[in-house]
Amino acid sequence: MIAPTPQPANPLPANQDAEPSPADADAARRIADLEQQVAKLTRINQALMDRVERNVDGQGSAFSLFQTAIGLEDQVRSRTRSLEEALANLERSYQEAATAREQAETARLRLFTAIEAVSGGFALFDAEDRLVLFNQDYLSFWPGMAGDVHPGMSFREMVLLAVQRKSVLDAYRDPDGWVRRRLRQHADCQGPTVHALSDGRWMQINEKRTNDGGVVAIYTDITALKRRETQQWKAAVAKKTTLLQATLDNIFQGVAVYDAELALVAWNNEFVRLLDLSPRCVRRGAVFGDFQRFNDGLQSHGISEPRFLDPQNNPLPLRLEQTWFNGRVLDIERNPMPDGGFVLTFTDITERKRNEEALRDSERRIRLVTDAMPALIAYADADERYQFVNAPYRQWLKRPETAILGRRMRTVLPPEFYGRSRAHIRQALAGETVSFEVELPPTDGPDAGTEPRYAHVTFVPHIGLPNADQSRVILGLFTLMQDVTERRRADAAIKEANETLERRVTERTAALTDLNRQLKQEIAERREMERALQSAKVEAEQANLSKTKFLAAASHDLLQPLNSARLFVSALAELEHTHKNRSLIDNIDVSLEAVEGLLDALLDISKLDAGAVSAEIVDFPIGSLLGPLHTEHQVLAQDRGLDLRYAPSRAVVRSDIRLLRSIVQNFLSNAVRYTQRGGVLLGCRRRGDFLRIEVWDSGPGIPSDQLEEIFKEFHQLHRGPVLGAPVPGGRSAREGRGRSGTRGMGLGLAIVRRVAKVLDVTVETRSVVGRGSVFSVVVPLGATTAAAFTRRLAGQGAAQAMTGTMVLVLDDEPSALMGMQALLSTWGCEAAVASTGEEALEVLDHLPRPPDVLIADFHLGEGHIGPDEVGRLRQAINRATGKAPPAIIITADHTPEVEAQVKQNGYWMLKKPVNPAQLRSLLSSILTG
């Protein structure tokens, strides 16, 4: 029997109704053909058997049966072989079909694995747009409908289901439109499409046609990319918004932007400033209604309702001028926005309106002036059309202004006059100023005369700004006509008179020639005298300069021994002495102080005469100058039995405090020195933009004929008591004056006059003999907001104990070294001295410890200077100890260059002769930090 045909197993996964592959279908067809052949052979065999049985005769012939059996056997054997071959072929076909099914199942499983491994969703549609294959990620792209997606589902059903389940945001507003667009996109397969899902994600779909007409779709999650793009877009929008706001804030116009809902979305500061708006109108969330309500509140100012405040009823764009409540005239523009809003632009044209009014007023004034002038004035443009004529010009033409302006000159002027002037007009329009005289045409009327009249005519071209090629542009011409008839008549009369005077001129010429010769001789003599005077002036200036240099050099040389003497006297004063010796030391100190004052005055005068003093003008409170001066002179005034009063002032002046102090100090010193009884008053008075600083005294006064003489060098008036004369309190003049009460040298006011010239200020003097004097200086006021000006002298501060302080002194003068060493020893300091820098370096090696302070003279021997040598010593000490000590430079050279060089190196400076108290104060300040 033929075995039943085996049925192949289904290779698809149990959860999917997959269709057979092409290889399975071919094997099934081959098996069906073999089964049909087997069934056909079986029927043939059965028919042959029936035929043999029917053909056996009734006699049962053995031979025929045998023969028949043999034929049948051959046929059966042949048929059997054919059947066996068919069965073998059928078995091979079954084996091939099984192998093909296994390969197809393996390929199918691999395909499903590959599809599941695809990054993103994958879907395959056949030619009839039915879903064939898909992976699990594909289902995640359809929120709310994943359980309803299955193979065999049409693409249209899926799109309608997505609309029904609201899986895609794009389908919310227009479901039907989105369905049509999605079906068209699927059918065309034209590039990727992007869709927003209802769960907040974004997907990108790429679709492509297959060879059999199906569609392969790849679904990609681009949510992160869209979020980055959104962030970048927001950042870009924020940046553009910032740039837009910065741009709005930097334009001179006020700008406000309202959207389609009339909400304020952008504005600038100028918008708020120009309209003086309330904060409620300019804030986030403000609407145009807030602006309208603000405007309603301005009705009390007489502001009518502006038309731009009614955007619904007024067409766009709109432009108008509006006078605002704060007096500004605004040019307002309202222009539409593409999205339905509008932009308001406010331009302040107040100044332009004022200028226009000023121009109109100026034009009226010009016309008034030109109409009053006797000359005929007109202006015509480049086409010879009149644009302006004055009243005399109109009267000459006997036409009204309306019949002249705008018309050409050839149609207005008399023909013969225009013909004579035509060439000159063309010259003026070519850029050349033309003047000529022309006979005026005769006029009719009672004023017409028989003699001709003449006019001087001037055509002046009106040249505009040059073009891009720098060529001139002629805008028109000015016409100026003056009646010169009377002048011509006068010229004729003068010519006639000249002819009669020629003879007289010839006669006088000879006399003048002789007189001229005498004058030339006198001029030559005067020139010779002038050269002699010039030479004498040069010699005098050279002599004065030599005198100034001599005084400066002599004072400089005298300061060296004077400095040593002051140091020795100060050292002696620190020791214990008898009353007699103390009196001698005090007298020496007073004498040295007088010499020092004389040298300081000589140095000041020499520097002022040499022009070496320059003013450093600053703003400072006058109290910072007058207060210390009052304190300094208070003790001296008390010693002389005087009442020194001071009226403080808060005024701020603009001057050089150092030079101004010199002026006021000399005023005070003279007042205290020469006042016998009564008192001295120091105060100020405001006079407009100036401040008058005054010093009043109750002294003997100055005669009026001596008010100028007292400002000369070494000029003194015997106004004070002689030495030994009694003063209030029963003391002698010497006792009353004290240490600083000696008679002056007559240089203080000379210095005042020179300093006042440097400061460019006015010094005034008033005096009444027997009642007193007033010396004052007038200085400009400064800024009232100037900070308090203080000046701290080097070394100012409370003195501290200096016992054990190591000081190294460098000076090329042995007497100065000895004096400084003696003075420092009296203060408890350990003083080491050296005369050169090399010697100072050797001294450093033998000192028990590094010096705490360095003191050096500025000018040392052999061209060396103190700052350089101090720098070498500080470097050596710094290398040894890691710390450089401070330094003080002492100098008799008071020039600004020396002071600048000392300050540049960071050192302190004291001027010779050294004031011991100042030196001690400076050392105390340095040692206490």
Torsion (CA) 414, 417, 423, 429 in degrees, nearest 10: -60
* 214-253 per-residue burial string, b: 16 or more CB within 10 A, e: under 16: bbbbbbbbbeeebeeeeeeeeeeeeeeeeeeeeebeeeeb
pLDDT tens digit sequence for 833-866 = 888 888 888 888 888 888 999 999 888 878 888 8
Bond into 175 cis (ω within 30):
no
Task: Return the residue matching tokens 């005239």.
Answer: 329
Q: Is 278 helix (H, G, I), strand (E, B) or coil?
A: coil
391 is written with which tokens? 């009243």
Q: Do 474 and 463 contact (CB within 8 A), yes or no?
A: yes
- Alpha-carbon span 24 to 32, nearest angstrom: 12
- Whole-angstrom distance, CA of residue 422 vs CA of residue 404: 18
CA-to-CA distance for 834 and 830, rounded, in angstroms?
Answer: 14
| Nearest-5° Cα angle at 281, 278 to 287 | 165
DSSP of 870-895: HHHHHHHHHHHHS-PPPEEEEES---
> DSSP character for 2?
P
Write down the pLDDT at residue 731.
34
pLDDT digits (tens, 9 = 90+) for 626-641: 888 888 788 788 888 8
Tokens 């927001």 locate to 234
Token pair 């149609």 in the structure block, residue: 411
Tell how far CA 474 is from the center of its chain.
42
| Order of strands, sheet of 474-483, starting from the edge strand that comes earlier in the sequence | 386-389, 376-381, 474-483, 454-463, 434-439
Residues 6+ apart with CB under 8 A from 8: 24, 27, 28, 97, 98, 101
The beta-strand segments (E) located in 641-698 are 643-646, 652-655, 679-687, 690-697
Strand pairing class (853-857; 193-196) = unpaired
Q: Do 775 and 673 meet the contact criterion of CB atoms below 8 Å apart?
A: no
- Residue 123 CA to residue 737 CA, distance in Å, equals 121
End-to-end CA distance of the chain: 131
Distances (CA, A) of 483 to 453, 490, 611, 645: 8, 13, 63, 78
Please give the angle made by the CA atoms of 825, 827 and 829, to the nearest 5 degrees. Answer: 55
Q: Is 306 helix (H, G, I), strand (E, B) or coil?
A: coil
- Cα angle vertex 639, ends 634, 644, to 5°? 35
No. of H helices and E strands in the chain? 23, 27
Query: Nearest CA to 318 among 300, 306, 302?
Result: 306
Q: Is 60 left (phi over 0), alpha (psi -120 to 50) or beta?
A: left
SS3 371: helix
Residues of the chain where predicted confidence (pLDDT) is lower than 50? 1-18, 57-59, 719-743, 786-800
pLDDT value at residue 58: 47
Question: Which residue shows structure tokens 């406000």?
Answer: 256
| C-beta separation of 560 from 816 below 8 A | yes
Token representation of residue 484: 């010169």
CB 197 within 8 A of CB 203: yes
pLDDT at 311: 61
The CA distances from residue 561 to 548, 554, 605, in Å, are 21, 12, 21
CA separation, residue 611 to residues 545, 606, 729, 779 (Å): 11, 9, 46, 21
Please give the Cα distance from 563 to 546 (Å, whole number). Answer: 25
How far apart CA 443 and CA 445 sit, in angstroms, is 7
- CA pair distance 789, 694, nearest whole angstrom: 21
Helix (H) or strand (E) holding 531: helix 485-573
Spatial distance between the Cα atoms of 770 and 701, rounded to a whole number of angstroms: 5
d(CA 153, CA 160): 12
Give the strand pairing for 679-687 and 643-646.
Answer: parallel
Contact 49, 73 (CB under 8 A): no
| C-alpha span between 55 and 20 (Å, rounded) | 51
Q: Are 813 and 739 in contact (CB under 8 A)?
A: no
From residue 597, give the alpha-carbon distance in Å to each of 162, 559, 671, 698, 908.
111, 11, 17, 25, 23
Give the Cα separation of 453 and 435 in Å (integer): 17
Q: How far apart are CA 808 and CA 819, in angstroms?
A: 14
Q: Residue 844 burial (CB < 10 Å; 0-12/13-18/19+)?
A: middle
Q: How are strands ordered across the β-sheet holding 806-810?
A: 830-834, 806-810, 853-857, 887-891, 908-911
